[in-house]
Structure 1
């Protein structure tokens, strides 16, 4: 495995670097392989500031970009973390030498259930939407602030990913998606990235992805096979 670049790990919505990466063994495995690991908490999550004003979250991507090492970087993102990395890489493709994106696909280009999820976190029931109920459960963890999570979901400056921006990401990209993941299929994302490969995780849904040994193995193999 190439050891020259730090590996950035970016967690998903309503969780944290500790819960997504450390608890599932990622940080230890990468450090054992000799890699420097950078695992920040996104604004509103974990140990990061937790503003309750939706407008504060317009700066989520730029705040993370400013906190990262200058590059070149390897980066692994799950769900929201993958979307944030795509947004940064669309603006600054030269900062990345390899990207691993998990738990994203067609969901990046369609209307999502953000308001349904926000309402569920606030305690308004949506029993027919298991995704919203799952995120409500995540938001009830001791290290979360439900009001901050709702503020993120309602931020006014949400910027969609564009075909032109994604086409600028020339580095090798690995897209990993469980075949039971609501974020799929993967093809709409793969078709927009010029240098992407795909790994499917049989029998894995969205929420089991970070703990999937197949995801971990595919990422380690990808980082090793594409030296910077």
Structure 2
């Protein structure tokens, strides 16, 4: 996979297909393959006539790792995304993020609205504003030597996912402690781009998609029936809804 040196940070990415560009930003403890390639998103969007760019966020996948929480934060990671667009000489793209990636996509849209054509916030609803719980149990779970010693259910799930993806757990713990910046209702209301908020109906982490969409002038909601936070990403309803959103605006 190619790498780009963006503002002194080594970022791994993929770049496939031709057509209107779409930038994919993965969720916490995931990477471009697990979040986007394996569930079929890259092939789906390429076949839909799009140029698909997906990056590994700093601390994840094949990108550079840091063990200091100060090296993370969603606004900083949004700058990595913008810098990658600069590196690839892409003036504007559609942007889709899942969970933490949706928060990063929101900061990118807020801080650089000219770079975002439209945005898809998947796996994150009103939790973007209200927060999604205490990050410390997850960070501690990532730092714990033995998974069987972890009592927090959410922390244990993220630890198992981190082990499954072969992640640098110290880097993820640092990221977890700094990546959950809330966005105020007023700031969310300043997003003028068309937005799709896509959340599983059994997702206990994301928060209400309707409550978030109500704050955004040009937003609509996609409910992913019967899916929780960990499995909604690859659901066929999710994919069909995203394509409909993209192609309806194209029409």
Please give the TM-score of this superposition, normalised by the length of structure 1: 0.91
How far the C-alpha of 1:26 sits from its partner, in A, is 0.6
How far the C-alpha of 1:4 sits from its partner, in A, is 4.9
Note closer, same or farther for the CA distance 1:158–1:14 as it changes in structure 2 (3 Å cut).
closer
Aligned-partner SS, 2:72: helix
Partner of 1:192: 215
Pick 1 or 2: higher relative contact order, CA cutoff 8 A, min separation 6: 1
Cα offsets for 1:108-152 (capped at 9, x unmatched): 22342210111111127443x322211011111353100000011
Stretches of structure 2 that go unaligned for 5 or more consecutive residues are 1-17
Partner of 1:169: 191
Aligned-partner SS, 1:225: helix
Cα offsets for 1:66-109 (capped at 9, x unmatched): 11254321111100000100011111112112111111012222
Counterpart contact for 1:90–1:169, Cα < 8 Å: yes
Counterpart contact for 1:93–1:168, Cα < 8 Å: no
How far the C-alpha of 1:159 sits from its partner, in A, is 4.0
Looking at structure 1, the residues matched to 108 and 187 of structure 2 have their Cα atoms a distance apart, in angstroms, of 10
Cα offsets for 1:25-67 (capped at 9, x unmatched): 1101111122100000101000110111111114322222211
Stretches of structure 1 that go unaligned for 5 or more consecutive residues are none
Partner of 2:109: 89
Q: Does 2:118 correspond to 1:98?
A: yes
Partner of 2:3: none
Matched length: 224
Q: Does 2:237 correspond to 1:214?
A: yes
Partner of 1:37: 52
Greater strand content:
2
Structure 1 outlier segments of 4+, above 3 Å: none
Looking at structure 2, the residues matched to 16 and 56 of structure 1 have their Cα atoms a distance apart, in angstroms, of 18
Partner of 1:13: 28
Please give the TM-score of this superposition, normalised by the length of structure 2: 0.83
